[in-house]
C-alpha cells in the first residue's frame, strides 16, 4: 500500500514538473526580449544614442524626413545632421570633428577618407539638370546655351562633387562656360538662381525639385549627363559605432529607399 502511494506521488511530481518547464522557458524568452529592448531602447534592436551625421548639402531636405522616420522607429535615438559640400565634410573629418557617420555626394571624396571610415555603401544616385529663373525668361533649352556670354551662369567650384560633375559634362560636349561665380555647394548654386543673381546654373535634379515655385528645371539627356553616387559610412572615431552602423544600414532598407525615391533620388 505504501509503495503504491509513493509511486503515485512520484508520477504526479513528474507530470507537474513537465507542465512547469514550458512555462518557465516561455517566461525566460520574454524576459530576455524585454531586457534586450530596454538595453537598446529600440523596436528594431538598434542601440539608442545621439547621432551626428555629416551629409552632403543635396541631402538636406530628404534627410530631415529620413531622420524623423528613423527616430520614430528607434525610440531613444536622436539624429542630428550637419550639411555642407562634400569637400567641406571631408575636411571636418580630417580635422577630427565629432561625428558618427558620413554621407557624401560622390565616391571620390569618400575614397579619400578610407582610413577614417568603415566600408561605405552607396545608398542613392542622382543626375544634373539646368536650373533657370522661374518661367525660364532667357529661354535656355540645353547645355550649349550656357556658353552664351550674355547669360549669367553660376556653377559649383570644381572641388565640389556637383562642380566636378558639371565640368565633366560640359567638357564632354566641348562647351566653354564662363561662370560669374563658383559656389561651395549645390544649395548655394540653387540659391543664386532663385534670387535672380544668376540666369542659370547646374544643380542636382533633387535640389531643383525643392524649388519648383522659384525656378524651372531643364532636363539634360542621359547621354550628356553624369550620375552622382552617394556613399554612406560609419566614422571610425564614432563614440556610438553600433548605433551609427545601424543607421547607415537602415539607409539601404525599403523604408529609407522609399523616402529617397519620393524625393527624386535614383536607386543605388
User: In order of start, what are the domains of the chain with their CATH numbers?
Assistant: 50-125+229-262 (3.40.190.10), 127-227 (3.40.190.10)
For residues 230 and 94, what is the distance between their CA atoms, to the nearest angstrom? Answer: 19
For residues 97 and 158, what is the distance between their CA atoms, to the nearest angstrom? Answer: 24
- How confident is the model at residue 10, as a pLDDT? 43
Angle, CA of 201, 166 and 234, to the nearest 5°: 110
- How confident is the model at residue 88, as a pLDDT? 97
Q: What residues contact 201, with CB distance under 8 A and at least 6 apart?
A: 130, 131, 153, 154, 155, 189, 190, 192, 193
- How confident is the model at residue 47, as a pLDDT? 87
- How confident is the model at residue 173, as a pLDDT? 97
**How many Å separate Cα 61 from the centre of its chain?**
10
- How confident is the model at residue 129, as a pLDDT? 98
The pair phi, psi for residue 219, each rounded to 5°, is -65, 145
- How confident is the model at residue 112, as a pLDDT? 97
Which residues of the chain are under the pLDDT cut of 50? 1-41, 43
- How confident is the model at residue 180, as a pLDDT? 97
- How confident is the model at residue 45, as a pLDDT? 67
Q: Which grid cell sits at 133?
A: 529663373
Q: What residues contact 200, with CB distance under 8 A and at least 6 apart?
A: 130, 131, 132, 133, 138, 140, 145, 146, 151, 152, 153, 154, 193
Amino acid at each position: 500500500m505504501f509503495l503504491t502511494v509513493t509511486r503515485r506521488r512520484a508520477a504526479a511530481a513528474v507530470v507537474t514538473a513537465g507542465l512547469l518547464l514550458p512555462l518557465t522557458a516561455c517566461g525566460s524568452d520574454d524576459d530576455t526580449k524585454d531586457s534586450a529592448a530596454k538595453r537598446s531602447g529600440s523596436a528594431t534592436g538598434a542601440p539608442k544614442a545621439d547621432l551626428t551625421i555629416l551629409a552632403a548639402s543635396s541631402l538636406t531636405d530628404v534627410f530631415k524626413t529620413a531622420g524623423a522616420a528613423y527616430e520614430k522607429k528607434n525610440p531613444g535615438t536622436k539624429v542630428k545632421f550637419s550639411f555642407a559640400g562634400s569637400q567641406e565634410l571631408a575636411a571636418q573629418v580630417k580635422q577630427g570633428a565629432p561625428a558618427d557617420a558620413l554621407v557624401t555626394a560622390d565616391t571620390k571624396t569618400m575614397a579619400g577618407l578610407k582610413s577614417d571610415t568603415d566600408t561605405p555603401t552607396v545608398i542613392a544616385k542622382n543626375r544634373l539638370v539646368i536650373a533657370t529663373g522661374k518661367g525660364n525668361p532667357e529661354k535656355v533649352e540645353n547645355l550649349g546655351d550656357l556658353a552664351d556670354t550674355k547669360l549669367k551662369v553660376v556653377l559649383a567650384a570644381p572641388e565640389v562633387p556637383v562642380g566636378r560633375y558639371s565640368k565633366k559634362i560640359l567638357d564632354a560636349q566641348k562647351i566653354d562656360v564662363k561662370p560669374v561665380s563658383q559656389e561651395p555647394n549645390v544649395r548655394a548654386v540653387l540659391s543664386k538662381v532663385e534670387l535672380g543673381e544668376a540666369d542659370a546654373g547646374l544643380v542636382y535634379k533633387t535640389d531643383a525639385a525643392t524649388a519648383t515655385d522659384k525656378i524651372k528645371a531643364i532636363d539634360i539627356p542621359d547621354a550628356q549627363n553624369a550620375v552622382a553616387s552617394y556613399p554612406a559610412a560609419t566614422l571610425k572615431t564614432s563614440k556610438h559605432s553600433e548605433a551609427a552602423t545601424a543607421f547607415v544600414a537602415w539607409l539601404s532598407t525599403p523604408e529609407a529607399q522609399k523616402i529617397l525615391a519620393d524625393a527624386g533620388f535614383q536607386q543605388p
